[in-house]
Amino acid sequence: MSKALKLYYDLMSQPSRALWIFLEKTKIPYERCLVNLGKDSQINLAETVAIIRYLAREYRVPDHWYPADSRQRARVDEYLEWQHHNTRAMCAIYFQYMWLRPRMFGKKVDPSRAEQYKAQMESCLDFIEREFLGGGSRFIVGEEISFADLLAACEIEQPKMAGYDPCAGRPKLTEWMARVRDATNPYYDQAHKLVYKIAPETVPKPKL
Amino acid sequence: MSKALKLYYDLMSQPSRALWIFLEKTKIPYERCLVNLGKDSQINLAETVAIIRYLAREYRVPDHWYPADSRQRARVDEYLEWQHHNTRAMCAIYFQYMWLRPRMFGKKVDPSRAEQYKAQMESCLDFIEREFLGGGSRFIVGEEISFADLLAACEIEQPKMAGYDPCAGRPKLTEWMARVRDATNPYYDQAHKLVYKIAPETVPKPKL
């Protein structure tokens, strides 16, 4: 493919952050096209997961991001498909309901609905703690970081802005989040600067 | 991979049907493990899209199902990611709310909620008519059938059981559905036997 790769991104968006970190970390050359998704609603970001797969085919990226080994790849794929209705949906809904919607549209938070969204998100985070991280490996699939980890971590950062600490009471998730950050810094922290800034002091966050 | 491929499936489930049709059509040897998802809720079907990708790597299946060409593959992937929150979610929610929930749990249908679910589904079907099928090619990506078409068609069959005709007023969708059926019969009709049987007479359906 030509070098004219352009990334239209907004670091307020979780999948946008995952893609941006990935491009920076793998040194794939691209043109930065910063957009404001809140204002530029006509921009079509297409599907992040499909874009990541395409980049892994077209550029020499280290194998661990999307393993060539068929069984390992199937396990990465399993997470990538699963997350749409789970990590992606649950963390984003909670953030939007608790933080974005009141600020953008002046809507009130209904406590019983808030409780419901929180419970859904917690059940998803508990599932990750138990199933995806319960096997004792360092990352979701094996000992090295893959797309699955990066996408997951970026989603799980999001509710921090609404004052929710996803790591509290989840020791495996806590350690794994730190590993994902270590493996992708300084880009991880750069991408999450606004998240850390908006998250209240009650949520543990790195001192930048 | 070994020959001990087992498919746990229930033809009442749309992704289950897509996978079953694919295995039959491509003659991949497998062991049929019929389950009743309504009763066997502990069965973990994992993620259909990840399974299909794995099968395409491990078995010699004709290229058109999941093209090796990187740009074509990216377009198939784009649909496969998009569908989770669109075709898959919208058609399934409508079907469950209108048909399954009243029958399984004796729940009443709230007309305003029914209208909302219908509008969401229709906006998704209109998007498919306009965007995915609007370019004049025979299938979602190019002139041959891919996973994207099969998965999409199986989802779009589902609301027929609730008396909704997805083809009405959508000429491109109508012709494309007929093409997907032609390209995968006799398995398509076998997989949808129950759908055709349950769908009321007001919904056009093949005479078997």
Nearest residue of B to residue A88, measured between CA atoms: B85
Instruction: Provide the ipTM.
Output: 0.71
CB contact under 8 A, B77 and A48: no
The pTM (predicted TM-score) of the whole model is 0.81
In this structure, are residues A9 and A20 in contact, taking their beta carbons and an 8 Å threshold?
A: yes
Give the span between the Cα atoms of A196 and A187, in whole angstroms. 14
Complete DSSP assignment for A31-49: EEEE--TTT-TT-----HH
Question: Does residue A70 belong to the interface with chain B, where contact is any CB pair within 8 Å?
Answer: yes
* A149, containing H or E segment: helix A147-157
d(CA B150, CA B153): 5
Q: Which residues contact A162 (CB under 8 A, 6 or more apart)?
A: A94, A95, A98, A99
The residue in chain A having the minimum alpha-carbon distance to the alpha carbon of residue B75 is: A50
The rounded distance, in Å, linking the Cα atoms of A92 and B77 is 22
Higher pLDDT, A140 or B14: A140
DSSP one-letter code for B36: -
A48 and B78 in contact by Cβ < 8 A? no
- Which percentage of chain B shows pLDDT scores above 90? 61
- State yes or no: pLDDT of A2 exceeds 60: no
Q: Is the distance from CB of B173 to CB of B142 less than 8 angstroms? A: no
Residue A32 backbone phi and psi in degrees, to 5: -80, 115
Q: Does B69 touch chain A (CB under 8 A)?
A: no
- In B, which residues are within 8 Å of A73 by CB distance? 53-54, 57
Q: How much is the mean pLDDT over chain A?
A: 89
pLDDT of residue B50: 87
**Model pLDDT for residues B4-51, shown as the tens digit of each residue:** 788 888 888 888 888 888 888 888 888 888 877 666 644 444 688 888
> What pLDDT does residue A46 have?
64
What pLDDT score does A111 carry? 96
Q: Tokens 């489930």 sit at which residue?
A: B13
Give me the pLDDT at residue A41, please: 47
**Yes or no: domain B70-198 corresponds to CATH 2.40.50.220:** no
> Chain B within 8 Å of A47 (Cβ-Cβ)?
yes
Beta strand pairing status for B31-34 and B6-9?
A: parallel
**The tokens 């999307």 sit on which residue?**
A66
Given a contact cutoff of 8 angstroms between Cβ atoms, the answer to whether A43 and A34 are in contact is no
Q: How far is residue B68's CA from residue B50's CA, in Å, rounded to a whole number?
A: 16
| pLDDT for the residue A34 | 82
C-alpha distances out from residue A39 to A11, A42, B88, Å: 14, 9, 28
| Identity of residue A119 | A
Angle between helices A147-157 and A171-184 (to 10 degrees): 110
**Residue of chain A nearest B54, judged by CA positions:** A74
User: Across residues B109-126, what is the average pLDDT?
Assistant: 97
Q: Is the peptide bond between B200 and the residue preceding it cis, with omega within 30 degrees of 0?
A: no
Residues A19-70 pLDDT 10s: 888 888 888 888 888 877 666 644 444 688 888 888 888 888 899 999 999 9
- What pLDDT, on a 0 to 100 scale, did the predictor assign at position B57? 87
pLDDT at res. B59: 84
Say how far apart CA B15 and CA B19 lie, in whole Å: 6
pLDDT digits (tens, 9 = 90+) for B129-174: 999 999 999 999 999 999 999 999 999 999 999 999 999 999 999 9
Q: DSSP character for A62?
A: -
Give the domain ranges of chain A: 6-63, 70-198
Q: Regarding the domain delimited by B6-63, which CATH topology (the fold level of the hierarchy) does it fall under?
A: Glutaredoxin (3.40.30)
